[in-house]
Chain A
Amino acid sequence: MAELDSIAAEARERVESIGAADLLIGLPACASGESLETVASGLRSAFPKTVLVYPPAAIPGVNRNGDESAPDARVQLLPYPFVPVERRDGRVQPDDLRSVFLIGQKLGTRSCAVLNSDIDSSTPAALRALLEPVLNQGFDLAVPYYARRKFDGLINSAAVYPLTRALYGKRVHYPMAQDLACSARLVGWCLQPASSRPVPLSWMTVNAVCAGLQVCQVSLGLAPPPKDTADLSAVLASVLGSLFQDLDRNVMFWQRSRGSQAVRTFGQLEAAPEESPAVDVRKMIDAFHLGCRDLMEIWAAVLSPATLMELRKLAKIPPDQFRLPDDVWVRLVYDFALGYRQRVMNRDHLLRAMTPAYLAWVASFALEVQDAGPRQVEARLERLCLAFEAQKPYLVSRWRWPDRFNP
């Protein structure tokens, strides 16, 4: 509880004046008073005493007098200086999450939710659906399960979902969810860990699974429009870096876990409207060829000789037949995770050097599924996930005995 001192003094005073609440919702990406009002009106009739935490800098014109001053109002507002928009990378910011958790713990809430995606697209009904399993069904973490188009969330499809599923054994389809609802139990586990090291909050699904808590997915219809990624290599380094960092911390858990199990999904998943656009992957294949030409020395420090040979072979394949086999991609991801752990070079350099190989996967995937329907795409990604699970012993073996000969 002492950590509450770390949040802004003004917010602390406001928390003291509110006293207690049942539900806390953090809206770090809220950009307008109308959005805030939409969320507030959707919650007013559905839930008991709720506190909405919003960034005051983004919404200077909000009339706070009404809800803020009434101590028994069902929805109260709490301005809080979240991480500014220009420093956000489209993912949940651990600092924001920690602040929301600290405030929630101080207020004694039953649940804390964070909506980081564009809340204009989050209807009150969707928010209620996300909170319901945590408040009334005994789940500790609820994350959205959106219907996505086949070329959306590609980092998730290529590495994040298959890797977390293979390692932690739970089929949470979008572990890097921007919106989530957590129980007081999960909040308490994150803020008061058994060890002295604070729990990193980048991957809440991983935290919940490793803590042995109940995780579920809630089908919320179509995904919000994807945010633009200015620098792909920076995004890739940020996402995979935090994921690889967690591998070291959770090694005792994932080395024991076997196979994977589905998690409970609330609601029916609707298919995303899928037009089959003509895809142009030449630039991505060119980027891979350039990487093969210039980054081979760097890759050689990370990848096994067999994987390097496969990449060299792939560079000679004509663009229309360009296919990156699942086994090669899986080994490549595992090798980068091992290289990250062993610090074979500066970690940021290592992760950024993966970009051309990732683009090769995207190009190969795009060529393979460009005319496929949602079910075929799903089946294709399922095959990739199974390849990650099948090759997990390779990762475990090299993690335990990194010096052993590795062809």
Chain B
Amino acid sequence: MWNQIEQALNESADRIVSGAANLLPGFVALAVALLISILVAGILGFVLRRSLRGIDFDGKAANWGLAGLTELSPSKSPTVLVVRFVSWVIILVGFLIGIAAFDATLTSRLVMRLFAYLPNLLAAILLLVIGTVVARFLARGVLIGAVNMNVQYARLLSVGVKWLVLVLTAAMALEHLGIGGGIVELAFGILFGGIVLALALAVGLGSKDLVSRSLERQTSREEAQAPFHHL
């Protein structure tokens, strides 16, 4: 009886030790892969940063009209954004290589699922970037237009338009990612409707002057401008 217990304990300890011994190289391989990828990411990031600063990538991005990208970037520098993106991609690849040391099938399954999800992720990121740029563009256009029409609540209108577009964009991005499901649609509907209602109330209550000014301009433009002629 005692011998049987001892044998069972020994076998169990053997299984644990051999299991740990089987896992240990995998952990070491994962650590080594991560270390190497961090090192490569660091070196490549350094080279990339130097190269992009050498060609004045920040200035060129601004000249190409990518002011929105500058605003989104850490430290307001598109160079830093590109360098960080490349570095994280390299570290992710190193992590996947390290995981493969444990179980090749696990990695391939993970990679397959990741690649299947990747189009949704990229579409969501693209939507967010485009949405942010469009929101900023429209907000600025509305602000300038409203100020030029002497609308006192120009900033409110501008912020309202910006958030309308951002909320719409966020809802579309979350739908692409498959996060939230019906809750997102419901929340979006409530938020979007709320913003529209708030804007309608604000504009409706405050636009009396604007409408009367506009009508006044239409009916007596000559008198309103006299004696000033700009052209």
Q: Which of B23-31, B96-104, B141-149 participates in binding chain A?
A: B141-149
Q: Interface segment, A66-74, A286-294, A320-328?
A: A286-294
Contacts of A91 in B (CB 8 A): 231
Binds A, one of B59-67, B76-84, B123-131: B59-67
Contact with B along A211-246 (1 / 0, CB 8 A): 000000000000000111110110110010000000
* Minimum Cβ distance to chain B for residue A365 (Å): 10
Instruction: Point out which of A226, A230, A283, A294 has the most chain B C-beta atoms below 10 A from its C-beta.
Output: A294
Checking B65, B143, B231 against A295 with a beta-carbon cut-off of 8 angstroms, the contacting residue is B143
- Interface size class for chain B? 20 to 34
**Nearest chain A CB to B183's CB is how many angstroms away?**
35
Would you give the 0/1 interface string for B203-230, flagging 1 where the beta carbon is closer than 8 Å to chain A? 0000000000000000001100111111
What is the CA–CA distance of A26 and B145 in the complex, to the nearest angstrom?
A: 36
Given A228-B225, A294-B154, A352:B231 Cβ within 8 A: no
Known A295-B143, A295-B144, A346-B140: A152·B229 in contact at CB below 8 Å:
yes
Say if the beta carbon of A199 comes within 8 Å of chain B: no
Are A355 and B148 neighbours in the complex by a CB distance under 8 Å? yes
Closest Cβ of chain B to A361, distance in Å, is 11
Of the candidates B140, B141, B229, the one having the most CB atoms from chain A within 10 angstroms of its own CB is B229
B147, A226: Cβ atoms under 8 Å? no
Contact of A294 with B229 in the complex, beta carbons under 8 Å: no
Name, among A90, A229, A290, A298, the residue most crowded by chain B CB atoms within 10 Å (CB to CB). A290
Q: Are the C-beta atoms of A155 and B230 separated by less than 8 Å?
A: yes
Q: Is the CB of A295 within 8 A of B150?
A: no
| Complexed CA–CA distance, A154 and B141 (Å) | 25
State the majority secondary structure of interface residues on B. Answer: helix
Among B63, B143, B145, contact of A342 (Cβ-Cβ < 8 Å): B63
- Nearest neighbor of A178 in chain B, beta-carbon distance: B231
**B140 and A343 within 8 A (CB):** no
Chain A residues positioned under 8 Å from B231 (CB to CB): 90-91, 153, 155-156, 176, 226-227, 229, 235, 239
Q: Is the CB of A294 within 8 A of B228?
A: no
Docked CA distance A343–B143 (Å)? 19
A210: Cβ under 8 A from any B Cβ:
no
**B58 shortest CB reach to chain A, Å:** 11
Contacts of B144 in A (CB 8 A): 233, 295, 298, 349, 352-353
Q: CB of A49 within 8 A of chain B? A: no
Q: Does B85 contact A (CB under 8 A)?
A: no
Q: Are A290 and B154 in contact, with the CB atoms below 8 A?
A: yes
* CB-CB under 8 A for A349 and B221, given A154-B228, A229-B230, A356-B148: no
Give Cα distance in the complex from A295 to B147, angstroms. Answer: 8
- Name A293-335 residues within 8 Å CB distance of B: 294-295, 298
Taking a contact as CB atoms under 8 Å apart, the answer to whether A294 and B155 are in contact is yes
With CB as the reference atom, state the residue of chain A lying closest to B217: A230
Tell me whether A366 and B152 are in contact (CB under 8 A). no
CB distance from B229 to the nearest CB of A (A): 4
The contact of A226 among B63, B137, B145, B229, by CB within 8 Å, is: B229
With a cutoff of 8 Å between Cβ atoms, the chain B residues found around residue A362 in the complex are 228, 230
State whether B67 touches A344 (Cβ < 8 A): yes
| B59, B226, B227: most-surrounded residue (chain A CB, <10 A) | B227
Residues of chain A contacted by B228 (CB below 8 angstroms):
151, 154, 279, 362, 366
* Residue in chain A with minimal CB distance to B140: A349
CB of B137 within 8 A of CB of A277, answer no
| Least distance between A241 CB and chain B CB atoms (Å) | 14
- Cross-chain contact A345 with B67 (CB below 8 angstroms): yes
User: How distant is the Cα of A366 from the Cα of B229 in the complex, in angstroms?
Assistant: 12
Which single residue of chain B is at the shortest CB-CB distance from A283?
B150
Q: Is the CB of B67 within 8 A of A294?
A: no
The interface residues of chain A lying within 8 Å CB-to-CB of B140 are 298, 345-346, 349
A-B residue pairs in contact (CB < 8 Å), sample of 25: A151-B229, A154-B230, A228-B225, A229-B229, A229-B230, A229-B231, A232-B148, A232-B230, A233-B145, A233-B148, A235-B230, A236-B230, A239-B231, A279-B228, A283-B150, A294-B155, A295-B144, A298-B143, A343-B62, A344-B62, A346-B65, A346-B141, A349-B141, A352-B144, A366-B228
Interface residues of B, Cβ cutoff 8 Å to A: 59, 62-63, 65, 67, 137, 140-141, 143-145, 147-148, 150, 152, 154-155, 221-222, 225-231
20 new A-B contacts at CB < 8 Å, known A228-B221, A298-B140: A91-B231, A151-B227, A152-B229, A153-B231, A154-B229, A176-B231, A226-B229, A226-B231, A229-B230, A279-B227, A283-B150, A287-B150, A290-B154, A298-B144, A342-B63, A343-B62, A349-B144, A356-B147, A362-B230, A403-B59
Sort A-B residue pairs by CB-CB distance and give the 10 closest, nearest first. A226-B229, A233-B148, A152-B229, A277-B227, A151-B227, A154-B230, A151-B228, A355-B148, A352-B144, A155-B230
